[in-house]
């Protein structure tokens, strides 16, 4: 089995398939990391998709946990976390999901874990991570 999810944008042409770590707490950490690194978002061009795949691939290691394809070829109704629709590195919609959200990973600790798996030269400092999270924490539920 897995903890599957698909990430796409509003135009729903391309999607990234995650076999593991498809819960909202993990997906938000991947997206936040991309935002903190100031990557162009996927809705702008293909470089955003490439950076998201790079960050997630570095986190997982190996070669079997991530895929990218046209949305209609991906397992969107995957019985786990469905599809996240994103814009500017934020989740703005959801499809094929009617369960309770996964919230088992602490936001800061998950973001630090994503950061640790990136190449040393590309990692954020702990201060950059904490400072980048501060606006997201104000007024949001954990």
Comparing 27-31, 61-65, 77-81, 94-98, the range with the smallest average pLDDT is 61-65
Give whole-number Cα distances, 136 to 6, 29, 118, 142, in Å.
Answer: 23, 12, 22, 10
Q: Give per-residue pLDDT as tens, 71-122.
A: 999 999 999 999 999 999 999 999 999 999 998 999 999 999 999 999 999 9
CB 88 within 8 A of CB 113: no
Q: Which two tokens stand for residue 85?
A: 């629709």
Of all residues in the chain, the percent with pLDDT exceeding 70 is 94
**Radius of gyration from C-alpha coordinates of the chain:** 14
Task: Say yes or no to pLDDT of 128 above 90.
Answer: yes
Query: The whole model's pTM is what?
Result: 0.92
Per DSSP, 71 falls in state: G
Between residues 134 and 24, which one has the greater pLDDT?
A: 24
Give whole-number Cα distances, 11 to 42, 44, 47, 70, in Å.
Answer: 11, 11, 16, 11
Which residues contact residue 20 at a Cβ distance below 8 angstroms, ignoring those fewer than 6 apart? 2, 3, 4, 60, 65
Spell out the domain ranges in the chain: 5-137
Mean pLDDT of the chain, nearest integer: 92
Q: Give per-residue pLDDT as tens, 38-50.
A: 999 999 999 999 9
Task: Say yes or no to pLDDT of 125 above 70.
Answer: yes
Mean pLDDT of 128-137: 78
Q: At what angle do helices 107-116 and 46-60 cross, to 10 degrees?
A: 90
């Amino acid at each position: 089995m897995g903890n599957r999810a698909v990430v796409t944008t509003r135009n729903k042409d391309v999607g990234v398939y995650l076999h593991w770590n498809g819960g909202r707490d993990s997906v938000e950490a991947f997206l936040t990391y991309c935002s903190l690194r100031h990557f162009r978002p996927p809705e702008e061009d293909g470089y955003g998709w490439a950076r998201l795949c790079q960050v997630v691939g570095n986190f997982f290691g190996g070669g079997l946990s991530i895929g990218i394809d046209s949305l209609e070829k991906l397992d969107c109704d995957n019985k786990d976390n469905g599809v996240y629709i994103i814009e500017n590195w934020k989740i703005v919609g959801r499809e094929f999901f009617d369960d309770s959200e996964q919230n088992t990973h602490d936001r800061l600790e998950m973001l630090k874990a994503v950061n640790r798996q990136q190449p040393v030269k590309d990692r954020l400092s702990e201060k950059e991570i904490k400072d980048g999270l501060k606006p997201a924490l104000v007024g949001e539920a954990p």
